[in-house]
Amino acid sequence: MSLRIGIGFDIHRLVAGRPLVIGGVTVPFEKGLLGHSDGDAVIHAVCDAILGALGRGDIGQLYPDTAEETRGMCSLTMLREIMETVARDYEIVNIDINCICEKPRLSSYRADMVDAIARACGADPSAVSVKFRTHEGLGEIGAGDAVAAQAVVLLRKR
Ligand SMILES: [Zn+2]
């Protein structure tokens, strides 16, 4: 049995005038994540963890923030497309995610995020874990000016 593990990290500024899309879920809030795509830091961290597990570079190479066709792109679509290139050879064992966000409190969206991520990956929801932390008021994340995410993905060769 061949296993591959990957790690992903992402951070986006939280600004007024953008919808908040995080973990594949749109959350009502007065600010949203700034980015060329929808700015979904959780999904970007998962994409990078999958790519990292396979030594395939990073999400910025596949979806450059200079490309017109990726402007405003739904990050779940990126995740689905990446998994389509992977799924013939590998399946997800599990995904573990930290979402570091001071405000809003996101734990009531956990089940929706797990479902959205599992569906995009073709994985069972029991294989996906999303955890939430604040940054204890420290730094830019603690001031509510940014949201960060970390992800670890374990893949198993089919
Ligand atoms: Zn990102």
Q: What is the pLDDT of residues 132-142, one digit of tens each?
A: 999 999 999 99
Q: How far is the CA of 24 from the centre of ligand 1 (A)?
A: 13
**What is the pTM (predicted TM-score) of this model?**
0.97
DSSP E strand stretches across the chain: 3-16, 20-22, 25-27, 31-33, 90-100, 128-133, 146-157
Q: How far is the CA of 36 from the centre of ligand 1 (A)?
A: 8
Q: Cα dist. 39→25, 31, 50, 57 in Å?
A: 12, 12, 18, 19
Q: How far is the CA of 21 from the centre of ligand 1 (A)?
A: 11
| Cα 56 from Cα 71, distance rounded (Å) | 22
pLDDT in tens, 79-128: 999 999 999 999 999 999 999 999 999 999 999 999 999 999 999 999 99
Q: Cα dist. 119→4, 15, 80, 92, 153 in Å?
A: 21, 28, 8, 12, 15
Q: How far is the CA of 6 from the centre of ligand 1 (A)?
A: 16
Say whether pLDDT at 1 is over 90. no
Q: How far is the CA of 124 from the centre of ligand 1 (A)?
A: 24
* 19's tokens: 């919808």
Q: How far is the CA of 27 from the centre of ligand 1 (A)?
A: 17
Q: How far is the CA of 116 from the centre of ligand 1 (A)?
A: 17
* Cis peptide leading into residue 28 (ω within 30°): no
Q: How far is the CA of 1 from the centre of ligand 1 (A)?
A: 32
Residue 30 has phi, psi (to 5 degrees) of -80, -10
pLDDT at 113: 98
State what percent of residues in the chain have pLDDT above 70. Answer: 99
